[in-house]
A and B are shown apart, each in its own frame.
Chain A
Amino acid sequence: MRARPGIVVAVLCVASLLDAPWVRTAEQALAPVLLVTDTLVADLMPVGDTVASDDAVPVVAALAWEAWLDAVAVRPAVLESGRKPCVVPVAERLVGRQELILYVPDVELLQDSPVTHRGALIGFLRPWSASDARVVVDGRARVALLGHPRARPVAATWGDESLQFLVASRDEAPTVVLRSRRVQPLPGQLAYSRDASQLGDNLPAGLAIGRVSRSESDLPGGALAVHTRDEPSLDVLLDPAELSHVTVEAPHDARLSLPQVEGRLLRSAQGDHRWQLDRGLLHGVGRGDGVVQQSRWVGRVEWAGPLTSIVSREAPPGPLIVADPSGNLIPVGASVGTWPADWRPQAGLPVFWGNASTGGLLVGRLGLVDQDRLTIDLSGFDPVRPVSVLVR
């Protein structure tokens, strides 16, 4: 039976309006036709977005990023010999499977080595699969988060070494097992890794593992009773779904080089909000990739077609680094819940972001707070010069 063209077009229109990915991607197939005339039009364009060359921007952005890296990578100094803490980006968050996928091209990593963030233990590097014992496959490594069956047990303490125990994965949660004494830990206590090097375990001491989680219930009279379950579990300190970077132990000479694609942004009729990028899926560009120009953040790929993409001028994902007037660097998220206590945004403060391959980038300046979310006035960029796409 032959479908009527009108019905086919109507169905495709509805699919396009419903954001069907294959239709939206196919729509971009016609964009290269526009590119032919784009080059002619580009010469006639006013250069309104050109930014003055500011030599200070790369330096300040690099300082902000490096200071943030130092804070993220903070951890006890005991490392495997010949290795250094290295901050790497999170490529994928498989929270349901209690795993993270890290992007670590050309970096040699060791199985069961710890993965941390700001001094907290997140998990351990695991073999890629049951049939493949390699840790890094195609530039990616797999992390078994605490609570994952593949996460190895950790020798731990409450901090004063008076009570020692193991933290093992039970029922998808890190759980206290093999306590040295029958003392009940109080709810809310923090557990840290302890030095077990005499037993051949080289995990550094002092890594925060989690907080004791104990169910409590009201008793008559208003008192609280602590359930005396034998194996209290630990609440992990960091939400893996929020992590954009973590720290791994890498060889001293490791250099993280993330692939980038050079391209050019072409103005759309939407003005400054959305731009056409003359690179697409066939060049390796994908949805969500960041677009930068020298030391400035430009935007994110909203849709990628075969040969062209749409770039939306929006802030980067993950924590932003705000430099306050006294020179402090404060990592903040977009929503109010992620801000440090007592911190109030001041309009006009510079905002930075970073990437393992580009280093620090200037994102823009803080705008007003709108509905408990930060607004950021993005830094300008020069549409005449090429941009780089940070391919994930």
Chain B
Amino acid sequence: VILAVLAAAVLSAQALVLGRALLGSMAPDPMVVLATALALAWPARRLLLAAVFLGWVRALVLVEPAGGQVLCAWAALFSVAAFRSSLRRGGRRGFLFAGVLLAAVWWLTALAVSWAAGVHVSAGRELLLGLLLAVPCAGLLMRISRPEGGAR
């Protein structure tokens, strides 16, 4: 599962690279969909590992220090996980709301880290645009993102 998540992170990061080449700053970041699904599905003890994978891979394609993106992913994943049970009850809308929450926390953390460390940490509209990719299949994604091993 861990390798599958890493592979998915790499593919979504490459999709962002390709998207940036084709669409410029309007390119969506599909990683937000993956991160939302992981935040809803994985037990809290594994979310740190997920944050490291997602932040590290995203930082590599954005050519930034990995520390900033890992901190953003960490804060975003744990924020969504904190409201997991109520978000899951919302079904399709719950998944999309979880995505918005994740994107907002990621963006705010990036602002805070950029301000505190004086290093540019990229996060912006591509996260919300990425969430648009999940709109047609949000219900399915929510069903797939059932908690592993009864994680709450």
Residues of chain A from 213 to 232 with CB closer than 8 A to chain B in the complex: none
Cβ of B40 to closest chain A Cβ, rounded Å: 21
A33–B7 Cα gap in the complex (Å)? 9
B67 within 8 A of A: yes
A18 within 8 A of B: yes
A110 within 8 A of B: no
Nearest CB in chain A to that of B68: its residue = A17
B contacts with A: majority SS: helix
Nearest CB in chain B to that of A44: its residue = B18
Instruction: Report chain B residues within 8 Å CB of A96.
Output: none
A153–B67 Cα gap in the complex (Å)? 54
Instruction: Report chain A residues within 8 Å CB of B11.
Output: 37
Bitwise, A1-42 to B at CB < 8 A (1) or not (0) is 000011001101111111100011001101101101110110
B60 and A31: CB pair below 8 A? yes
A9–B67 Cα gap in the complex (Å)? 9
Instruction: Report chain B residues within 8 Å CB of A9.
Output: 48, 51-52, 70, 74
A45–B17 Cα gap in the complex (Å)? 9
- Stretch of A98-106, A191-199, A243-251, A270-278 with 4 or more beta carbons under 8 angstroms from chain B: A270-278
A16 and B65: CB pair below 8 A? yes
Bitwise, B58-97 to A at CB < 8 A (1) or not (0) is 0111110111101100100000000000000000000000
Instruction: Report chain A residues within 8 Å CB of B71.
Output: 10, 13
Instruction: Report chain B residues within 8 Å CB of A16.
Output: 65-68, 70
B21 within 8 A of A: yes
A267–B15 Cα gap in the complex (Å)? 12
A56 within 8 A of B: no
A41 and B17: CB pair below 8 A? yes
A269–B52 Cα gap in the complex (Å)? 19
B18 and A34: CB pair below 8 A? no
B10 and A37: CB pair below 8 A? yes
A24–B70 Cα gap in the complex (Å)? 13
Instruction: Report chain B residues within 8 Å CB of A269.
Output: 13, 16-17, 20, 27, 61-63, 122
Chain B interface bracket (under 10, 10 to 19, 20 to 34, 35 or more): 20 to 34
Nearest CB in chain A to that of B6: its residue = A33
A41–B67 Cα gap in the complex (Å)? 26
A82 within 8 A of B: no
Cβ of B104 to closest chain A Cβ, rounded Å: 20
B22 within 8 A of A: yes
**How many residues of A are in contact with the other chain, CB < 8 A?**
38
B106 within 8 A of A: no
A46 within 8 A of B: yes
A337 within 8 A of B: no
B39 within 8 A of A: no
Cβ of B6 to closest chain A Cβ, rounded Å: 7
B57 within 8 A of A: yes
A325 within 8 A of B: no
B119 and A17: CB pair below 8 A? yes
Nearest CB in chain B to that of A270: its residue = B63
A268 and B63: CB pair below 8 A? yes
Nearest CB in chain A to that of B126: its residue = A269
A5–B74 Cα gap in the complex (Å)? 13
A310 within 8 A of B: yes
B65 and A19: CB pair below 8 A? yes
A30 and B18: CB pair below 8 A? no
A34 and B68: CB pair below 8 A? no
Nearest CB in chain A to that of B18: its residue = A41
Nearest CB in chain B to that of A312: its residue = B63
A48 within 8 A of B: yes
A12–B51 Cα gap in the complex (Å)? 13
- Kindly identify which residue among A6, A30, A40, A275 contacts B56, using a CB–CB cutoff of 8 Å: A30
Known: A37-B10, A37-B14, A41-B17. A276 touches B63 (CB 8 A): yes
Question: What are 14 A-B contacts defined by CB distance under 8 Å?
Answer: A9-B48, A10-B71, A13-B68, A16-B66, A30-B57, A33-B57, A34-B10, A34-B13, A34-B60, A37-B11, A268-B62, A269-B17, A271-B20, A310-B63
Taking Cβ atoms with an 8 Å cutoff, the residues of B that contact A are 6, 10-11, 13-14, 16-18, 20-22, 24, 27, 48, 51-52, 56-57, 59-63, 65-68, 70-71, 74, 113, 117, 119, 122
A-B pairs, 10 with minimum CB distance:
A16-B67, A13-B67, A274-B63, A17-B117, A17-B67, A16-B65, A269-B61, A27-B66, A268-B63, A37-B14
